[in-house]
Each structure stands twice: as structure tokens, then as C-alpha cells.
Amino acid sequence: MHHPSNEPFQVLSVEDFLSLSARINYLLAAKDPSIEALMGRLVARRRLQGSMEALSSGISFLLRAYRNRLRRLGPLAVLHPLRASHLLVLASETPTVLDTLTAFLHDYYEDIFTPEMDSEQRQELEWRYEMLQQQLSEEERWFLDERIKWLTKRPEEQYHEYLGRLLMQARHTPELIWVKLADRLDNTYDLRVVDEGNDEYFRLIFDVLFLRKADRRQTLTPPPAPGQMDEAHRLYQMFKNAVFLTLVRNYSLDSETLTARRLFDALASASIQESGRILSQILNYQLVDPIKQRHLLMDAMEYCYGGGINRITSSQRGHKLDGLFKDRFDHPDSKTRKAMLKKMQDDKELMIEAALAFLTIFESFLNSSHYHVSGVKASGLDIEDTMV
């Protein structure tokens, strides 16, 4: 059984992650990017088992497949699979080329071979993928194709159903959960968590509870940049992380390998930092009344201490945080979810308490090997009103 240490393993600090992103971005900015330089950055001086020629072909394929497409938050889309693979290499006990290629191609059907792709580009990429496969053994080719299929969310699947199917298969193919953890970790880092004053949110909570506003120290968290993802959508990403980590716990996969434990703890740690940053942004710039802040902190702490974060609850119970998972985030229809997130973004008091709840949830994942959110299942979110 996995027993978290007092200092949970982190694959990268956020500062290192941002530095890695900048360096990869710099290499990609060249007219003819150096595959060798990119390989050196991603492998990080670790010895990978397998064909390095296949790894080189994998990078070439990614660069051609993503071209100059951008992610929702602005960076080049190809940064995501490259960074996720680097995180996996760092966390792996014995990194392999096959695992790295799986991380490269985990969005093969969702982001690369999309319905919008024209036939000429599709033919070119199919040819390049065949060239990549020729550098693998027959067994490796089969495993790579199977892993990509398992990692792909089907159109009719809800998020928790997809994770349940993936985790069932991960009992036989543990590398799947490593890649998915690295994927979620990169997505969480990419929410623009900053490394200045990592514990500022704890200091801020202390100041709100015990100091007069005139006695508080200077704010460290910078104001949100224009075009940045709003706090409600970032909280939705925290919801996805909490669901994922709970299902990993339910399937007992966080204790299977050192690689999984490292990535599990790193994702929980990154989620703590992001939840804290969301809290800091709102307290510093959006809801600044000290009396209201103190009331909300006390209310959220009482709710968490009473066990409200331990299970899926119904909004009919009456507390502001009741129904947080089920009613605020768990909407398969994207239009409904966007409308609910817009409503949540306008409710600063709710977001303060939600950020505090997620802080406590992810701290609980790190500090207890048994913690999970009861009611989160692959079949859906079941309301469990009984409080312990």
C-alpha cells in the first residue's frame, strides 16, 4: 500500500516546467527544428530502452501532424505531447521508447487524425506513421496501436466512463495509467500555475483569519493576464483531476508501481498549487471585503472538517458546497456545462469555497493513502448524503 511521505515527489517544479516549455518552444521556433536537440531535451540524459530511430521518427511525425496549431490557452499544440512524454520519462523507473511514443500519440485520434483533416494531409501522415511503425518490432507496433485506442475517449462516453474503461485495461497494461497521469499533469501545469510564493495561499488564509486588512503583507500573486482561462473553467479541471485520482484509488492503481505513485503524487501536488492560485486570484482581486472573506473561509473549513468533501452530496442539503461535483461540473452536454460554469464564474463566494474544498481534497490525497471521494464511480457520480 502506498504511504505518502511528508514531502511528496514532484516530477518538476512549476518553474522547471515553464523553463522546459520555453526551451522546447525556442527549439520549435527554428525554420528547421533540430530533432536531435528536441530528443536531448525530452530524454533528459536518461537511457531509454528501444529504438532511438523510432523516437526520432515520432518527434518528426508530431511536428508534421500538429504544424503550427495552437492550444486553447495560446501555446503551440505540439508542446503538450512533447512535455507529457518528458514528464513520463522523468517519473519512469525504466523509461522505454514504446512508452514515450504512447505519450507522443495519446491524442492520435482526437487531435491529429481529426474529421476536418483534408485527404492529402491524411495520406501524408498515414505514410509517416507507417514509416515510424517500420522501426518497431511487430509486437511493439501492436502494443502501440492498442494503447492509442484505449487512451482515446469515444464520442458517446462520459468522462468517468472513459476513465473506468481505461483503468480496467490498465490492470493488464499499467503503462496506460502512467501516460494518462502524465497527460493530466501536463494539462494542470499548463493552466499557468506560477511558482512565486508557492505557499502564498496558506499565508493568505492565515492573514484573512487573523490579521486586519491594514496589517496584511503585500500581494504576490499577479493579476490574471488578458485571455487567461477564467477561474470557473480552471476549477472544472480540478474537478476532472479529483474524479481521476479517486478512480485510480478505487482501482488500486496508485500503489502498483513507483512510476504511478510518482505521477499520482505530482498530479495531486500540482492540483494543490492551482487550487491555491485560483483562491489567491479571487481573494486578491475579485472579492476583497475582509469580513466576507473571513466568513467564507470559516464556512468552507467547517464544511470540509465535517466531511463534506469526502462524498458526492446533493444540493438539496442546503450548503453552498453541496452538489458541487454533481450539479456544477458533471454535465456531458458542453453547452449546459459552459452555462453552469458561466453562472459559477459570476458567483465569487462559491468559487472561494470551491477552491478551498479542492485544496483540502488534494491535500487529503497526498496525506492519506485511503482518501477518495465516495460516490465517484466509472458508471457516474452517485449522491451519498450520509455524513460520517
CA separation for the pair 338, 235 (Å, rounded): 13
Percent of the chain whose pLDDT exceeds 90: 69
Least Cα distance to 133 among 159, 152, 105, 112 occurs for 105
Question: Is residue 388's pLDDT more than 50?
Answer: no
Question: Which pLDDT score is estimated for 216?
Answer: 62
Question: Which pLDDT score is estimated for 112?
Answer: 87
Question: Which pLDDT score is estimated for 7?
Answer: 45
**pLDDT digit string (tens) for 120-173?**
988 999 999 999 999 999 999 999 999 999 999 998 899 999 999 999 999 999
Question: In the predicted model, what is the mean pLDDT of residues 278-300?
Answer: 92
For residue 37 the three cell numbers come to 536537440
Question: Which pLDDT score is estimated for 206?
Answer: 73
Task: Enumerate residues 6+ apart whose C-beta is below 8 A from 81.
Answer: 62, 103, 104, 105, 106, 107
Question: Which pLDDT score is estimated for 226?
Answer: 58
Question: In the predicted model, what is the mean pLDDT of residues 176-182?
Answer: 97
* CA atoms lying within 13 Å on the CB side of residue 110: 14
pTM confidence score: 0.91
Question: Is residue 385's pLDDT more than 90?
Answer: no
**pLDDT digit string (tens) for 316-353?**
999 999 999 999 999 988 899 999 999 999 999 999 99
| Burial track 89-110 (b if 16+ CB lie within 10 A, e otherwise) | bbbbeebbbbbbbbbbbbbbee
Question: Is residue 5's pLDDT more than 50?
Answer: no
What backbone phi and psi angles, to 5 degrees, belong to 254? -75, -15
Residue with cell 502498483: 256
Angle between helices 138-151 and 97-104 (to 10 degrees): 40
On average, the pLDDT of the chain sits at 88
Three-state DSSP state, 76: strand
For residue 371 the three cell numbers come to 482518501
What backbone phi and psi angles, to 5 degrees, belong to 334? -65, -35
For residue 273 the three cell numbers come to 498549487
Question: Which pLDDT score is estimated for 69?
Answer: 82
- Terminal CA-to-CA distance of the chain, rounded, Å? 24
- Residue 4: pLDDT band by 50, 70, 90 thresholds? very low
- Residue 378: pLDDT band by 50, 70, 90 thresholds? very high
Question: In the predicted model, what is the mean pLDDT of residues 31-51?
Answer: 92
Question: Which pLDDT score is estimated for 30?
Answer: 87
Question: Which pLDDT score is estimated for 255?
Answer: 61
For residue 172 the three cell numbers come to 493488464
Question: Is residue 230's pLDDT more than 60?
Answer: yes
Least Cα distance to 371 among 265, 236, 232 occurs for 265
Of 66-80, 81-95, 138-152, the poorest mean pLDDT is in: 66-80
